[in-house]
Structure 1
Amino acid sequence: MIAVDWGTSNFRAYRVAAGGGVVDVRTAPLGILAVAPGRFASVLDEHVADWLADGAGPVVMCGMVGSRQGWVEVPYVPSPAGLAEIAAGAQRLRVNAATSGLILPGVCCRDAAGVLDVMRGEEIQILGALDAGGDGVYCLPGTHTKFAMVAGQQIVSFRTFMTGELFDVLCRHSILAKTMDRLDGTDDAAFADGVRRARAGGALLHDLFGVRTRALFGELPSAAAASYLSGLLIGHELRDAAPAGHVTVLASERLAALYARALALAGVEYTLPDPVRALTRGCAAILALLREGGH
């Protein structure tokens, strides 16, 4: 099997052996918005042609590749949704003359006020990590962080927080950018200060201006300002999401470390499963369901 996570900004393909292990990886900064209509099959072939020639398929794709701007629009599946519901909503297609493919749907839900929320790709990681996390709260940090509740092996609800995108905008395009002289690396003490400030119960919009004033009066070094801001935003996110009990975090190593630190400061227990393993396990489980059903 070839599992593909094709998002807005990046293409990631994983060649998965029969035993479930990832034996090769191909990545490119070539998200769906960089692919012209009608070119998706060609772009896929450019990156994994040798795998396809070896008979590594079928290809199971998730993420924004199933959006309106993607290869084929695959409608969202409403929550509660588990492996069976996502498998039922999968779109079949031919990758080439010899290889079949699937594009998996995302999941949608409504909050208490009836406002819609959506995810594409994260649901596969969540369902692929059930062996590690079981029922409970799942956190998937990123540009748009997701907090999802799983019960009975189904995603029953979730909320999206624009934490990563807001951090980037504030660091590059706001007055706060003037207080920072580095965006790489993490100042652990400043990050923790930001988390604690958020947990003190203040308003986010007011706390954000405090980044500037603390820097203005020499209380926050410019080299630490981005880390403080990161802690502030993640702290407010956790305060609003209010995860209780245990949280399963699925993220890159860098983001997982930040969220682990913030959760620890909040007194919340967590586990950090491998997000790639979760993705490939989720894709494989859906493929197995479809094969069992004769599809």
Structure 2
Amino acid sequence: MNVRTLLAVDWGTSSLRGAWLDARGQAVEERSFARGILTVAPGEFAPAFESCFGDWMQRPDALCLMSGMVGSKQGWLEAPYCTCPAGFEEVAANLAWVKPGRVAIVPGLVCEHDGLPDVMRGEETQVFGALQLLGLQDALLVLPGTHSKWVRVQAGRIQSFATFMTGEFFALLRQHSILSRTLPASDGAFDSEAFDQGVTLALRGNSLLHTAFSTRTLSLFDRLPAAALPSYLSGLVIGEELRAQTLQANTHVVIIGSAALTQRYQNALALRGVPAQRIGSEATWAGLWAIAQTIHPSLLKTV
């Protein structure tokens, strides 16, 4: 890409973030809005974008790349999935252009396991950014969240990934199961000892369908205080996710996400004897910048 300023946008289901990046890819200014795609009516994405970032896009050399659910069927413009293995070149060649040469959406990725498809939108950009920031070509990465993604990268290309509905299962158990009658109204302060206890039980257990009930029985017999139960249940579901992973003794994991959540995963991985390092939201900006550098110049003619 020619030296141009970049508006990097992460437009997800519940939030909208943007960063104005300079010619070196450094964030000059950031903005955040409670304007996830679910708050935008069909046909209103262009006005919503203009109200949030129109002033930044007034520069004639400005380029905007967006990642996340904005490229889904419910978003501004559907960006078809790229098939794994996929790297910067494949992603940059399959951008969905909202405004040719000016505004584009990064495609998500699809891979298959045993004939079943798995997809991601937005996480691929974070992975590419982490690779750039850490100088890696080969890596195992996890992106915790409502739907956690475990991603394997070789030679700078995402080879495969797997989704685990960990955060969603926690929410369902926390709010809608028999366990919710035992748990306090709010999660309160994080209890690392209770969390570790939950992880340890999950790692040596056979199924979350069995271990989850211990959240109720430990409370019933006063073996855990009520305030510690949310942390314990969090440890159970995260531990179940880790139990499903094939992790060798020399495996090193990169965790991408919020500070609080990546810290929990780092603690849980340590209980499996697996070292890990954490990286935050800066991965998204680095990923969009790196993708922008791969776009063929013929696609960047301003119209």
Write out per-residue CA displacement over residues 55-74 of structure 1, whole angstroms, 9 at most, x where no aligned residue: 57211001110111110111
Backbone CA RMSD of aligned residues: 1.6
Counterpart secondary structure, 2:30: strand
Deviation of 1:291 after TM superposition, in Å, equals 4.1
* Structure 1 gap segments, 5+ residues each: none
Q: Out of 172, 178, 181, which is 2:181 matched to?
A: 178
2:16 counterpart letter in structure 1: F
Q: 1:243 to 1:12 in 2, by over 3 A?
A: farther
Write out per-residue CA displacement over residues 99-125 of structure 1, whole angstroms, 9 at most, x where no aligned residue: 8101010000001x1111000000011
Q: 1:9 to 1:270 in 2, by over 3 A?
A: same
1:266 counterpart letter in structure 2: R
Instruction: Determine the C-alpha separation between the residues in 2 that align with 1:198 and 1:134.
Output: 32
- Give the match for residue 191 of structure 2: 187
- Give the match for residue 153 of structure 1: 156
Deviation of 1:197 after TM superposition, in Å, equals 0.4
Instruction: Determine the C-alpha separation between the residues in 2 that align with 1:45 and 1:12.
Output: 14
- Give the match for residue 3 of structure 2: none
1:101 counterpart letter in structure 2: V
Q: Out of 216, 221, 228, which is 2:225 matched to?
A: 221
TM-score by length of 1: 0.94
Instruction: Determine the C-alpha separation between the residues in 2 that align with 1:279 and 1:120.
Output: 12
Q: Out of 166, 170, 188, which is 1:167 matched to?
A: 170
2:82 pairs with 1:77: yes
- Give the match for residue 259 of structure 2: 253
Q: Out of 58, 63, 67, which is 1:58 matched to?
A: 63
Counterparts in 2 of 1:264-275, with a 5 A limit? 264-273=270-279, 275=280
Instruction: Determine the C-alpha separation between the residues in 1 that align with 2:171 and 2:60.
Output: 41
- 1:15–1:56 CA contact under 8 A, matched in 2: no
Counterpart secondary structure, 2:55: helix
Q: 1:83 to 1:263 in 2, by over 3 A?
A: same
Instruction: Determine the C-alpha separation between the residues in 1 that align with 2:215 and 2:137.
Output: 38
* Structure 2 gap segments, 5+ residues each: 1-5
2:106 pairs with 1:104: yes
Instruction: Determine the C-alpha separation between the residues in 1 that align with 2:56 and 2:25.
Output: 16
Deviation of 1:242 after TM superposition, in Å, equals 2.7
Q: 1:32 to 1:243 in 2, by over 3 A?
A: farther
Deviation of 1:293 after TM superposition, in Å, equals 5.5
Q: 1:174 to 1:56 in 2, by over 3 A?
A: farther
Q: Out of 110, 134, 138, which is 2:137 matched to?
A: 134
Instruction: Determine the C-alpha separation between the residues in 2 that align with 1:247 and 1:80.
Output: 20
Deviation of 1:210 after TM superposition, in Å, equals 1.1
- Give the match for residue 117 of structure 2: 116
Counterpart secondary structure, 2:193: helix
Instruction: Determine the C-alpha separation between the residues in 1 that align with 2:241 and 2:295.
Output: 37
Counterpart secondary structure, 2:102: strand
TM-score by length of 2: 0.91
Larger mean Cα displacement after TM superposition, 151-160 or 283-292: 283-292
Matched residue pairs, number? Answer: 290
- 1:62–1:105 CA contact under 8 A, matched in 2: yes
